[in-house]
Structure 1
Amino acid sequence: MDRQTISALAHADHPIAAPLDPASVRELIAKTIRRGDERLLDLGCGGAAWLLSALADHPRVRAEGVDLSAPALTQAGEAATALGVRDRLVLHHADATAYEAAEPFDVVLSVGATHAFGGLLPTLAAARRHLAPGGRVIVGDGFWEQPPGPAAVEIFGGLEDLPATVDRVTGDGWVPVYGHISTRQELDAYEWSWTGSLTSWALDHPDEPDAVEALALATTHRDEWLRAYRGTFGFVCLVLGLAAQ
């Protein structure tokens, strides 16, 4: 199974492709909407859950999303139509790491997609290219809540603890305006949904060629979560502005 198919199936019951609940997403977005008519860009938008939330809550906001997954973008377009906000949402089937917008945006988001850019600071560098003066960035990435064991490091690589993560961001010229650390409930709900959605699909479609692989992926992921990184891995979203030069 390719990565896009796995992601689509695993996020079927948790459209926010990160360990946050809808209230947390709304709160983070609200910290960036200061005039009410902002233009938002999501780099690696997936099903565009963040943008849909912003458009539903703020009737003068406009948004654009970029993602490589055509099925996810189709789903986003259908959801936008159902919400009555499709006329304010533009979707680009493109590589977010190479995307070049025609004009800057007031808010740039990239949550849970730092792996695609090569890490947290490269993600922020990409966001900076698209950010209008005085704009805000929402970025979400993992960190170590507790010192990790070798298995957790093998899964997630070179994460740091929260103070060191924030230090890296501020050392790159950014100023935190707000932040949200995912709660244990949010983290667990995300993992149960990820593994459960993939498992349910496999059980409900036993004749599909990918059913056995999907079930094996869900089982492996669940074991890694429960045995290697639950209680160790954390997730933080930061609302950032640029420090004056």
Structure 2
Amino acid sequence: MERHRISSLAHTDHPIAAPLGDDSVRALLERTLPHGDARLLDLGCGSGAWITRALAARPALRADGVDTDAETMAAARRAAAEAGLGDRLAFHTEDAGEFTSPHRYDVVLSVGATHAFGGLLPTLEAARRHLAPGGSVLVGDCFWEREPGPATLDAGFAADEYDDLATTVARVTADGWTPLYGHASTLREWDDYEWSWTGSLSRWALDHPEHPDAAQALEVAADHRDAWLHGYRGTLGFITLLLRPTTP
């Protein structure tokens, strides 16, 4: 079963592909989005959940979303057209790290997609290339709530994969960014995300028992649930930062 197919099914009940509740997403967008004519770029946009919410909140906003999966992009285009957003929104099926545009963007967003760039700082480097003067970046990535123990490492993580929150923010500021706001996802947000992820995938498998991928989907969901509950729950954190370049 292909990774993008697993991700698509797992995010059916939680289209924001990160441990953020609806209220948090709404508050972050309200702090981030300018009023009036503006452009937004989402690098690693997935199904376009962030973009469509941003466009609904700002009627003059125009946006571009970039992701590699053609099937997800096609579904996102159809959803945008059905919502009447097609004239304000374009999806691009390509590597977000190689995307080029004639535009500069007032907001560059990349939440939960830093793996596509090789980490947090490379993601910010990519965002900077697209940013208009005075623009902002909204980026979300993991950090260690506490030092990872053997159970977390056995779940597939490396001890040096992330830093604690203070060190994460220090690395960002040393890289030339000034934080304007930050939201650390709560345990409740994490639990809702993980139960939704594993539950959506499991429900699909149980509803389609004759599908050749059903057994694998159940296995993936069970493995993910075990890694979360027995491994990284309460240890892995998620921070969403609103940033501006410290110098032009």
Q: Same fold (TM over 0.5)?
A: yes
CA distance in 1, matches of 2:73, 2:3: 15
Q: 1:189 aligns with which of 187, 192, 196?
A: 192
Partner of 1:50: 50
Pairwise CA distance, 1:194: 0.5
Partner of 2:140: 140
- Cα displacement string for residues 192-243 of structure 1 (whole angstroms, at most 9, x for unaligned residues): 0100011011111111111111110000000000000101111010000000
Q: 2:217 aligns with which of 203, 214, 219?
A: 214
| Equivalence map 1:14-25=2 (5 Å) | 14-25=14-25
Pairwise CA distance, 1:150: 2.9
Taking every aligned residue pair, what percent have the same amino acid on both sides? 59
Pairwise CA distance, 1:152: 2.0
SS in 2 for 1:50: helix
CA contact (8 A) 2:153 2:231 kept: no
Partner of 2:206: 203
Pairwise CA distance, 1:98: 1.2
Pairwise CA distance, 1:31: 1.5
- The letter for the 2-side match of 1:239 is L
Partner of 1:82: 82
| Equivalence map 1:116-127=2 (5 Å) | 116-127=116-127
CA distance in 1, matches of 2:172, 2:163: 12
User: What is the TM-score when the length of structure 2 is the normalising length?
Assistant: 0.95
| Equivalence map 1:52-71=2 (5 Å) | 52-71=52-71
Partner of 1:177: 180
SS in 1 for 2:90: strand
Q: 2:170 aligns with which of 159, 167, 170?
A: 167
CA contact (8 A) 1:11 1:197 kept: yes
Structure 1, 180-189 or 77-86: larger mean CA deviation:
77-86
- The letter for the 2-side match of 1:79 is A
CA contact (8 A) 1:108 1:138 kept: yes
CA distance in 2, matches of 1:24, 1:61: 20
SS in 1 for 2:97: coil
- The letter for the 2-side match of 1:162 is L
Cα RMSD, aligned residues only: 1.2
Change (3 A) 1:61 1:156: farther
Q: 1:242 aligns with which of 213, 234, 245?
A: 245
SS in 2 for 1:15: coil
Q: Can you give the 5+ residue segments of structure 2 that lack an aligned partner in the other structure?
A: none
- The letter for the 1-side match of 2:137 is V
Pairwise CA distance, 1:46: 0.3
Partner of 2:230: 227
- The letter for the 2-side match of 1:32 is T
Partner of 1:156: 157
SS in 2 for 1:179: strand
Partner of 1:98: 98
CA contact (8 A) 1:69 1:93 kept: yes
CA distance in 2, matches of 1:12, 1:32: 26
CA contact (8 A) 2:35 2:58 kept: no
Aligned residues: 245
